[in-house]
């Protein structure tokens, strides 16, 4: 690794010492690399005792005057964005790519210093509020309010530092990867040159080429048709199948899951149950019937079944010991979950609630004529938005020269660059995203933390069949709560959701037709395909029966 990467890894270590605020200056002095610059934003303060000290100097109530800081020079780093490498042309060589990666490291160094400086300045504000002299001029209520606001700002700054740490780790991984690519390319060029001027043995040449090829990354995945049946191991997960609000006491919800038909309804205890949507008597669909006193009644001869599948009533005949298949069914956080697999269900169900501060505004269910994996591929890809969604949410978006999805080395979540969008794939079929917005259809800032308002989305892609998906969509906002009470607003949300999905469907249906005929839909993955590729690798590992699934924490 380069000397710059090594020096910045030391700065990353200093970030882990943020919990001990009294030792911040010492940690920074020992760990952060000193950068050269021509101007200074901070002046030094003579006569400061110890390694770190802040002064609570107050002017008007609620404000701080400009301070001279002993540790200001440690953060006097020039913003590197003006020195970003300019790569002309459609393709760049490995050396240019390595330069871009090193610029990312330099930018993250600057960003991390700014985050640490923010925490120090907030600490100064806390000291100012607690200063005995300042207390004489402020009421207790004012102090409590200011302390609460400062605590929230400090927590936000800490969260930003943790995000910076993750981004630094990702950038370091990327730099090491780019250096490996450069080394492989140099080795390949050297072997080619030597083969032109020397008479190396065939076995030696073949061995060196095989070594180079083994180091180069895999450039494609094999996701081609005809579509295969679902693997049984893919069923051994909890799957959300319906929203709780759609399941009343006297209603039922028919669903298809893994090529089988089921019906969900509430029993006498109001708890949901899931039974096969086929009467044991004459195979009549049960969803054509009714729910009476917590039992689902077949419309053909009136046989009634409880939520565990047991037939509890047979009009006009002698009661027989009859039972239809049922699935483990559970209700949590406004969702109905089922376990369609043969293995025992896990003890916990993942949480899909929106983050704190968000209000749910819409819950929509759609039946889509595509295989659920293709739909997940589409939802996990944002680079297509400026080309596909030009008449909806991405109208007016610029087309950046480079789109990247940055994620930890072993994870299924991350953030988009240059879009202020965080995204996560949650096994087995959920996609969560948080989008920073300022105006409808507009983006502001380069990450979600820089945005004042946000849209949170949940997409559940239930595998109904090899060519059909049941989509559950939940939309939440952290602003304008009054919209939830506007009459008929749900029809407006439904209209927008249909319009966005129709822009995607015409493309994904075309993909599916070609996949069925044998085409590979993952021929040439690129950098912005990272999350979709990781989903495919995760799914492949599940179907192979891997003991430890990739990109997930070991238990």
- Residue owning tokens 């101007």: 39
CATH of the domain at 283: 2.102.10.10
Asked, for residue 346, whether it belongs to a domain, the answer is: no
Q: Are residues 356 and 450 in the same domain?
A: yes
Asked, for residue 205, whether it belongs to a domain, the answer is: no
Cβ partners under 8 Å of residue 183, min gap 6: none
Integer Cα distance of 323 and 266 in angstroms: 17
Among residues 336, 365, 399, which one ends one of the domains? 336
More confident residue, 462 or 175: 462
pLDDT of the residue at 422: 92
Among the ranges given (212-221, 283-292, 474-483, 501-510), the one the predictor scored with the smallest mean pLDDT? 212-221
The rounded mean pLDDT for the chain is 77
> Is 163 strand, coil or helix?
helix
Asked, for residue 512, whether it belongs to a domain, the answer is: yes
Q: Are residues 305 and 415 in the same domain?
A: no
Q: Are residues 519 and 394 in the same domain?
A: yes
Q: Are residues 510 and 450 in the same domain?
A: yes
Q: Are residues 504 and 361 in the same domain?
A: yes
Q: Are residues 308 and 401 in the same domain?
A: no
Among the ranges given (10-14, 95-99, 216-220, 368-372), the one the predictor scored with the smallest mean pLDDT? 10-14
Asked, for residue 51, whether it belongs to a domain, the answer is: no
Q: How many folded domains does the chain comprise?
A: 3
CB 307 within 8 A of CB 265: yes
Asked, for residue 300, whether it belongs to a domain, the answer is: yes
Q: Band the pLDDT of 179: cuts 50, 70, 90.
A: low
Q: Are residues 535 and 471 in the same domain?
A: yes
CATH of the domain at 461: 3.90.380.10
* Alpha helix (H) residue ranges in 16-131: 24-31, 94-130
Task: Name the percent of the chain lying above pLDDT 90.
Answer: 41
**295-340 residue pLDDT tens:** 999 999 999 999 999 999 999 999 999 999 999 999 999 999 999 9
**81-91 residue pLDDT tens:** 777 776 655 45
**228-275 residue pLDDT tens:** 889 999 999 999 999 999 999 999 999 999 999 999 999 999 999 999
Q: Are residues 268 and 320 in the same domain?
A: yes
Q: Are residues 432 and 531 in the same domain?
A: yes
Q: For residue 84, what are the CA distances in angstroms to 28, 104, 288, 529?
A: 26, 9, 64, 24
Q: Are residues 396 and 497 in the same domain?
A: yes
Q: Band the pLDDT of 435: cuts 50, 70, 90.
A: confident
Q: Are residues 381 and 464 in the same domain?
A: yes
- Residue owning tokens 């044998």: 518
Among residues 336, 362, 393, which one ends one of the domains? 336
pLDDT of the residue at 442: 58
pLDDT of the residue at 328: 97
Q: Which among 453, 471, 473, 475 has a CA at the least distance from the CA of 462?
A: 471
Domain that holds residue 157: 93-183
Q: Which among 4, 373, 319, 422 has a CA at the least distance from the CA of 179?
A: 4
Asked, for residue 465, whether it belongs to a domain, the answer is: yes
Q: Are residues 372 and 518 in the same domain?
A: yes
Asked, for residue 54, whether it belongs to a domain, the answer is: no
Helix (H) or strand (E) holding 422: strand 421-426
Among residues 336, 368, 393, which one ends one of the domains? 336
* Alpha helix (H) residue ranges in 412-529: 489-516
pLDDT of the residue at 162: 64
Q: For residue 457, what are the CA distances in angstroms to 202, 237, 392, 397, 527?
A: 57, 21, 16, 20, 24
Asked, for residue 524, whether it belongs to a domain, the answer is: yes
């Amino acid at each position: 690794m380069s000397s710059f990467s090594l020096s910045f890894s030391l700065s990353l270590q200093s970030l882990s010492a943020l919990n001990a605020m009294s030792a911040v200056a010492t940690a920074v002095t020992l760990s952060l690399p000193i950068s050269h610059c021509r101007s200074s934003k901070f002046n030094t303060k003579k006569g400061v005792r110890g390694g770190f000290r802040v002064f609570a100097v107050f002017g008007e109530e609620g404000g701080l005057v400009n301070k001279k800081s002993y540790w200001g020079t440690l953060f006097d780093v020039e913003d590197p964005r003006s020195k970003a490498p300019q790569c002309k042309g459609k393709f760049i060589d490995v050396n240019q790519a390595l330069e871009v990666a090193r610029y990312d490291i330099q930018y993250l160094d600057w960003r991390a210093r700014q985050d640490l400086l923010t925490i120090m300045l907030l600490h100064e504000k806390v000291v100012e509020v607690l200063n005995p002299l300042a207390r004489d001029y402020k009421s207790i209520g004012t102090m409590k309010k200011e302390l609460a606001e400062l605590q929230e700002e400090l927590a936000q700054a800490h969260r930003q530092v943790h995000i910076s740490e993750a981004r630094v780790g990702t950038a370091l991984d990327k730099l090491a990867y780019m250096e490996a690519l450069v080394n492989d390319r140099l080795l390949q060029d050297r072997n080619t040159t030597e083969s032109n001027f020397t008479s190396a043995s065939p076995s030696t040449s073949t061995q060196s080429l095989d070594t180079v090829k083994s180091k180069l990354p895999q450039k494609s995945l094999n996701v081609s048709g005809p579509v295969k049946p679902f693997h049984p191991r893919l069923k051994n997960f909890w799957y959300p199948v319906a929203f709780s609000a759609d399941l009343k006491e006297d209603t039922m919800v028919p669903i298809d899951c893994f090529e089988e038909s089921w019906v969900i309804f509430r029993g006498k205890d109001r708890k949901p149950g899931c039974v096969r949507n086929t009467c044991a008597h004459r195979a009549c669909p049960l969803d054509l019937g009714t729910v009476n006193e917590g039992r689902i009644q077949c419309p053909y001869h009136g046989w009634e079944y409880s939520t565990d599948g047991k037939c509890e009533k047979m009009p006009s005949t002698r009661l027989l010991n009859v039972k239809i298949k049922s699935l483990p069914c559970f209700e949590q956080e406004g969702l109905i979950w089922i376990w369609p697999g043969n293995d025992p269900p896990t003890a916990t169900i993942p949480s899909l609630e929106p983050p704190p501060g968000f209000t749910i505004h819409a819950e929509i269910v759609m039946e889509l004529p595509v295989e659920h994996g293709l739909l997940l591929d589409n939802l996990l890809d944002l680079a297509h938005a400026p080309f596909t969604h030009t008449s909806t949410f991405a109208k007016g978006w610029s087309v950046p020269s480079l789109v990247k999805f940055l994620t930890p080395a072993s994870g299924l979540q991350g953030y988009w660059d240059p879009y202020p969008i965080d995204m996560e794939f949650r096994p087995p079929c959920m996609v969560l995203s948080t989008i920073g917005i300022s105006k409808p259809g507009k983006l502001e800032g380069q990450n979600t933390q820089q945005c004042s308002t946000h849209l949170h989305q949940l997409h559940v892609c239930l595998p109904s069949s090899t060519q059909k998906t049941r989509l559950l969509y939940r939309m939440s906002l952290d602003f304008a709560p009054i919209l939830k009470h506007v009459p008929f607003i749900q029809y407006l949300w439904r209209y927008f959701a249909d319009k966005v999905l129709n822009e995607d469907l015409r493309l994904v249906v075309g993909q599916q037709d070609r996949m069925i005929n044998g085409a590979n839909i993952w021929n040439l993955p690129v950098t912005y395909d990272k999350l979709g590729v990781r989903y495919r690798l995760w799914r492949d590992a599940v179907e192979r029966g891997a003991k430890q699934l990739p990109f997930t924490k070991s238990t």
